[in-house]
Amino acid sequence: MKRLKHLKQMKHLVHSERVKENEAGGTRQMSMGFIAERTDKVLIIRFDRPQTRNPLSVHVLEGLAIALDDHRSLVDLKAIIFTGTADSFASGADLREIAAVTPETAREFSLRGQRLMNRIAKLDQHTIAAVNGYCFGGGLDLALACDRRIASPNAVFSHPGSGLGIITGWGGTQRLARLIGQANALEMFLTAGRFTAETALRIGLVEGVFEDACQAALEIASSA
């Protein structure tokens, strides 16, 4: 019941912000850790808590799920771009929330992220991750769920879970190995090492490196 009540409150917030969008004539902003900007037939979802490297908290995950389930706003879209702000794309799950996970809540914590990543992977729209900086853990899982990935020169990719005694439960263990091969995926998972944009391009994690990754993604989306 508490979860249902929380989701209804989130839906009300999204509806209120959509009214603001219509009155302002273009951009929809959500105060739930990300901003959604509509540009013609492209939706840009920009993670917007750079002071904490854009964590994918439970609040953010639920807000994204609601936004992506809003078929009325997605019906005429060609593409959805995910990007970040300042020097961060997304840093993954909120470590404070991970620390609070118990044996009883661990399964639902993982499933919440899995459901969102699977939802992104199955979207009818073309999805592009424009990685503008730090892309860690669940943030990398989200990028992997997209159809395409590009990066800015300062992008950094990592799955730091092994250094914390955890491993992602959001689908990254499967998608990463399929994309860059088992050896490269194991190196990333087992060493918690950081891969630069240049390395990511070399191993096939991203398809291009651009000074302005979001602008490049918009150009890709317009030609899709």
- What's the confidence (pLDDT) of residue 85? 96
The answer to whether residue 7 scores a pLDDT higher than 80 is no
Give the C-alpha separation, 64 to 48, whole Å: 13
Mean pLDDT of the chain: 87
Give the C-alpha separation, 151 to 157, whole Å: 10
Averaged over 27-34, what is the pLDDT?
A: 67
The answer to whether residue 4 scores a pLDDT higher than 60 is no
- What's the confidence (pLDDT) of residue 3? 39
Q: What CATH number is associated with residue 71?
A: 3.90.226.10
- What's the confidence (pLDDT) of residue 172? 93
pTM of the entire predicted model: 0.86
pLDDT in tens, 99-158: 899 999 999 999 999 999 999 999 999 999 999 999 999 999 999 999 999 999 999 999
pLDDT in tens, 47-73: 999 999 999 999 999 999 999 988 667
- Number of structural domains the chain divides into: 1
Give the C-alpha separation, 148 to 105, whole Å: 32
- What's the confidence (pLDDT) of residue 196? 98
Residue-range definition of the domain harbouring residue 36: 2-18+27-223
Own/partner contacts of 14-17, CB < 8 Å, gap of 24 or more, are 14/63, 14/66, 14/67, 14/70
The answer to whether residue 22 scores a pLDDT higher than 60 is no
**Any residues with CB less than 8 A from the CB of 94 and at least 6 apart, and which?**
55, 56, 57, 58
44 DSSP β-pair partners = 37, 81
Averaged over 203-215, what is the pLDDT?
A: 98
- How much of the chain exceeds pLDDT 70, in percent? 85
Whether the CB-CB separation of 37 and 23 falls below 8 Å is answered with no
